[in-house]
Chain A
Amino acid sequence: MVETIKIKKGLDLPIGGEPLKEVIDARSIERYAVKPTDFVGFTPRLLVAEGDTVCAGQPLVEDKNDTRLRLPSPVGGTVTAIVRGEKRRLLEVVITSRTGSKSSTNQPNLTPDSPCWWMIKERPFGTIANPDHKPKGIFVSMRDTNPLAPDLDFALKGREHEFEAGIKALEAYGTVHCVKAQGPHPAGNIGTIVAALDPINKGECVWSVGAQDVANIGRWCLTGEYRPERVISVGGPAAKAPKHYRVLCGANVQRISDVQLMDTSYPNMTGSTTTSSTRIISGSPLSGTTIKADGFLGMYDQQLTFIEEGDQYDFMGWLMPGLKKFSFSKTFLSGLMLPFKAMEPLMPVKPSFSFNTNMHGSVRPFLFTGQFERVFPFDIYPLQLIKACIVGDVELQEKLGIYEVEPEDFALCEFIDPSKTEIQTIIREALEVLRKEAMA
């Protein structure tokens, strides 16, 4: 049933802090948040107030543009905070869970009313699936190739029957393709898989569901219990004890970051954390979102990455040999060690680099060409599409294949870009213009 695709272009980052194959149960975390900002194009309207008691699966927020799209509470408990940002923009609805609270169990099947609907994403644009659309395929990636991402076979161990039930439920909406991609990142991205099997044309759409969410949908359909559970990988060069954690979606990460940031040089200082110099990312280091040490996991994210902030000067960085710096180009001495891919099995330790968040340079116009193509497995000219997005030429964007991509598909291009352009932001903004035009 599982299809395979083979990708050659791409790059697996040799990043340190790979998590051990060991799962810590963290489902007892008490605070959760639903963040409407995790959902592209979602205009939230609150359905609850502070102090309300909610049960797991009860909608907390709905989309003003389509009230069928609702975001449910991941646990039963009390709404303890509603966090707003600038211009009263709704950022977080915080729930404190109460043990023994029941989840609503009325209609255990997958309909737009069910609490699981948000797990289905739609391309182009990356929104929650529109129930009125008929997707030309539903894609499930069986391998997450992001750096430090969890091994999905490992994460789904013991949930096989739930996974199968989830697939069955999804089949009511279209053909489901479970795809295990081979090759370097971004092989496992939905964008890469769709481009390899059946690229999206203008006016078409595909849906995608995360493999662990398929199991969550399956559980809902089998038992009527809404419990959006995930095994997340917790790692990165700045993580002290990289491991896997079993959590519910939207969990507070305080308990995890306490352990990961513990300053081990002072064994007696219990509970003290060093957060100022470490960035915590919900999601992949290539496309995730920065959160605070007491922040909440993103709804779709299945990894938590700890990376040193690189806010330090680097003396003559452009001239130094750079044995410890990673570059996809071989302009640093470290590049001498990497070309011998064939020798990798012989090496006692896989070379790994402690990446930080430094830009490693200033922003420049595009000078070099032909680099993006090496990490971009699409039948698209990446530089030309990026330029079309910068100048806002909608027609040209369509011709060049904007509907086939999401910002995360450009993550590696952004990573290797010597001009330090914020490509993912550029692509997101272009897609938002198109999405709003399509809605109007």
Chain B
Amino acid sequence: MNMKWLEQWFEKIEPKGKWAWLGSTYEAFHTFAFTPKTVTRSGSHIRDAVDMKRSIIIVVIALLPALLFGMWNIGYQTNLAAGTDWGFWHCFWFGLLRMLPMIVVSYVVGLSIEFAFAQVRHHEVNEGFLATGLLIPMIVPVTTPLWQLALAVAFAVIIGKEVFGGSGMNFLNPALVARAFLFFAYPTHMSGDKVWIANDLWGSDAIAGATPMGELAAGMHPSASAIDMLIGTILGSTCETSVIAIALGALLLLFTGIASWRIMLSVFLGGGLMGLLFNAIGYNEYMQLPFYYHFLMGGFAFGAVFMATDPVTAAQTNTGKWIYGLLIGAFAVLLRVCNPAYPEGMMLSILFMNCMAPLIDHCVVAQNIKRRAKRAAIGKEAHNG
């Protein structure tokens, strides 16, 4: 494909003089179209083909199975509740029309803020939000009003990320910051029985329907079967219900090495162990629930694959990643079972461990420092002796 004309066009419109302040915006679009022609100066003369854009786009691609399934499921659930007889494409089209405005709002609000911050700081626009901006609409109830979503995105980008210096400097997962903002600011829109099913007609009464975890918190056994939960034909946040779709994304993330297998595995291990522990206690319905139900319900799988593995906010050392993941899984199940006020423990558990990750790393690195100091002491002794 000969793209010379586009190269020349970009070179022609490069902002200069009084427009030079638009550099960050220009750079963002230019590098979107072309990987820059910058060459190495020193050190390693050759470089790996991977860059941040490529890495982030892999995350976005990994999200697609869950996103597409979620779109279909939105329509399917409305269809079920209304007792109509929609076909596959009708369900999908219905869901697509509900998801698209949320995705557009998320990207427009988030990217505008990102561009503005980059412009003011004369930084390059970081591509991290391409993943975050898609994640946010995927983890909220389908009935979330767009203005609330816009507020949450703005809060997440500004308070969750930019005040610390932008992508790579934040300590909380921005997508979960948005989710937590909604959860605490508009609790009635985020949980309960009335938020999970999209209306067919704008503005009509909400349709009631409980998620499996909602039912459990109310002391009932979930009405959906484990197979339904695995496939994802249940109520929940827009795109987090299908464990199979999430697993497809997980496979891509693990194969490409973008996400840490240590974190993913240990989150499930931690959750499973905690589930088994509760099984052994067996005090109530929720505790007796087979441990693998926790993986299938709510945001556990989605959180483990796409949220806990966010490398910026996770522990950075390999040992630390095991501890971090185990505790996320364990706390998520603990919160679910022991605190019915928060039906979904995954979000809070990950945010809590985001805060703890630097501490975990500090302790792991301290071990390395201690080992080195010990070795030096032995070396000195041998030298003197």
Contact = CB atoms under 8 A, between A and B. Distances in A.
Interface string A402-430: 00000100011011111110111100000
Among B39, B44, B47, B166, chain A packs the most CB atoms within 10 A around the CB of B44
Contacts of B49: 317, 322, 325-327, 332, 360
B362 to A, nearest CB: 10
Given A315-B6, A365-B166, A371-B257, A400 B368 contact: yes
Contacts of A416: 48, 50
20 contacts: A285-B46, A289-B42, A314-B35, A318-B53, A326-B48, A326-B49, A329-B48, A332-B50, A359-B40, A359-B47, A362-B124, A365-B167, A367-B167, A370-B321, A411-B43, A415-B47, A416-B48, A416-B50, A418-B50, A422-B43
Interface string A384-398: 100000000000000
Contacts, number: 227
Given A204-B379, A358-B38, A364-B126, A328 B48 contact: yes
Contacts of B33: 315-316
A199 B372 CA distance: 9
Contacts of B1: 315
Nearest to B28: A362
Given A364-B168, A369-B316, A359 B39 contact: yes
Interface of B: 1, 3, 6-7, 27, 31-55, 57-58, 124, 126, 128, 165-169, 255-258, 260, 262, 311-312, 314, 316-318, 321, 361, 365, 368-369, 371-373, 375-376, 379-380, 383
B304 to A, nearest CB: 17
Given A329-B256, A401-B372, A201 B57 contact: no
A313 interface: yes
Contact of B55 (A281, A287, A288, A418): A418
Contact of A420 (B7, B46, B47, B128): B47
Contacts of A307: 45-46
A383 B54 contact: no
A381 B48 contact: no
B375 A287 contact: no
Contacts of A315: 1, 3, 6, 33-34
A290 B45 contact: yes
A281 B42 CA distance: 10
A312 B55 contact: no
A285 B369 contact: no
A361 interface: yes
Contacts of A379: 368, 371-372
A355 B321 CA distance: 33
B374 to A, nearest CB: 10
Contacts of A314: 34-35
A368 B34 CA distance: 22
Where chain A touches its partner, the secondary structure class is: loop
> Which 9 residue pairs are nearest across A and B when measured between Cβ atoms?
A361-B51, A317-B35, A365-B168, A318-B53, A325-B49, A424-B43, A201-B376, A314-B35, A313-B34
A319 interface: yes
A23 interface: no
A122 to B, nearest CB: 17
Contact of A329 (B6, B258, B371, B376): B258
Among B31, B45, B54, chain A packs the most CB atoms within 10 A around the CB of B45
A184 to B, nearest CB: 15
A380 interface: yes
Interface of A: 13, 15, 136, 199, 201-204, 279, 281, 285-290, 305, 307, 309-319, 322, 325-332, 335, 355-371, 373, 379-381, 383-384, 399-401, 407, 411-412, 414-420, 422-425
A383 B383 CA distance: 31
A367 B41 CA distance: 22
Contact of B53 (A15, A290, A361): A361
B36 A359 contact: yes
Given A335-B256, A367-B311, A370-B260, A360 B316 contact: no
A290 B43 CA distance: 10
Contact of B37 (A305, A313, A420, A422): A313
Contacts of A286: 44-46
B47 A331 contact: no
Contacts of A289: 42
Given A311-B37, A317-B35, A384-B365, A331 B54 contact: yes
A425 B40 CA distance: 12
A329 B262 CA distance: 16
A287 B48 CA distance: 14
A416 to B, nearest CB: 5
A364 B128 CA distance: 10
Nearest to B49: A325
A314 to B, nearest CB: 4
Contacts of A136: 379, 383
Given A358-B39, A364-B52, A417-B48, 10 more contacts: A313-B35, A317-B49, A322-B49, A331-B258, A362-B124, A367-B311, A368-B258, A369-B317, A400-B368, A412-B44
A327 B46 CA distance: 11
B34 A400 contact: no
Contact of B46 (A15, A290, A423): A15
Nearest to B316: A369
A414 B41 CA distance: 12
B48 A327 contact: yes
Contacts of A359: 36, 38-40, 47, 51
A424 B42 contact: yes
